[in-house]
Amino acid sequence: MAEGRLVIGTQRYSSWSLRGWLAVRLAGLDVDVQVVPLAGAGQTTALKTLSPNGCVPYLEHRGAVVWDSLSIAEYCAEHHAFLWPTDPVVRAWARSVAAEMHSGFRAVRSALPMNLGRNRPLATPLGEDVHKDIARINAIWTEGVGRGGPFLCGQGMGNVDAMFAPVVCRFLSYNVPGLSAAAHAYMQAVRHHPLMEAWYTAAAQEPVAWQLDMYESLA
């Protein structure tokens, strides 16, 4: 019997869920995964009584109840120390950019919603605020990979990469311009990590009835 459960949303769309799921899988926690189809715009009734904040990802593990992707990442790091870099200087950087991701980049989030079924740029030009976010993310990725790569803090995927993984999905889906060669290499490393392959495969197998017009009809 599993030691708990991780509840996530529609894998095609749920960027926060992808973060939590990656951290849990990287840490090797023995939990059952439950997928709840999202209604969009924060209207998923089933979640309102399920998790303390009415959101996914939501983790129950060995009696601990954990919500919010960043605290799930921290919880997972307690079980698998290498989810954050061992070098304190690199760890400080990793935590800072993970927090920056968690609390920022709103322009990218709202203009480029995660949709793993999408593979074309937006019909309309990106706004200045979106370009500003892209430039900052490009700088973070270029700096991180500059340490040797292929991931942001070295050879293995860790919490910092889990936090940025949905951004990789968005940038690939919308073929975002203005990224360095290092950033492109980073996106390929993330996209082809076995856990990401598994996530994309599961997303492609979700029922068509779970697809939401608000994302699918975005020109």
Q: By the criterion CB under 6 A, which residues form the site for ligand GSH?
A: 9, 14-17, 38-39, 42-44, 47, 55-57, 68-70
| Shorter beta-carbon distance to ligand GSH: residue 6 or 183 | 6
> Is 58 in a helix, a strand, or coil?
strand
| Shorter beta-carbon distance to ligand GSH: residue 58 or 186 | 58
The DSSP H or E segment spanning 7 is strand 4-9
| Tokens of residue 66, six digits | 């954990």
CB of 147 to ligand GSH, least distance (A): 26
Phi, psi at 91, each rounded to 5°: -65, -40
CB of 35 to ligand GSH, least distance (A): 12
Nearest to 191 by CA among 166, 155, 174: 166
Q: Determine the Cα–Cα distance for residues 118 and 218; give it in Å rounded to an integer.
A: 10
CB of 184 to ligand GSH, least distance (A): 26
Contact between 83 and 27 (Cβ < 8 Å): yes
Contact between 182 and 146 (Cβ < 8 Å): yes
CB of 213 to ligand GSH, least distance (A): 15
CA 35 to chain centre: 16
| Shorter beta-carbon distance to ligand GSH: residue 37 or 150 | 37
| Shorter beta-carbon distance to ligand GSH: residue 135 or 214 | 214
CB of 76 to ligand GSH, least distance (A): 13
Listed in sequence order, the residues at least 6 apart from 82 whose beta carbon sits closer than 8 Å to its beta carbon are 156, 158
| Shorter beta-carbon distance to ligand GSH: residue 15 or 180 | 15
| Shorter beta-carbon distance to ligand GSH: residue 11 or 138 | 11
- Give alpha helix (H) positions in the chain: 15-27, 45-48, 69-79, 88-103, 106-111, 128-145, 159-173, 181-191, 194-204, 213-216
CB of 87 to ligand GSH, least distance (A): 26
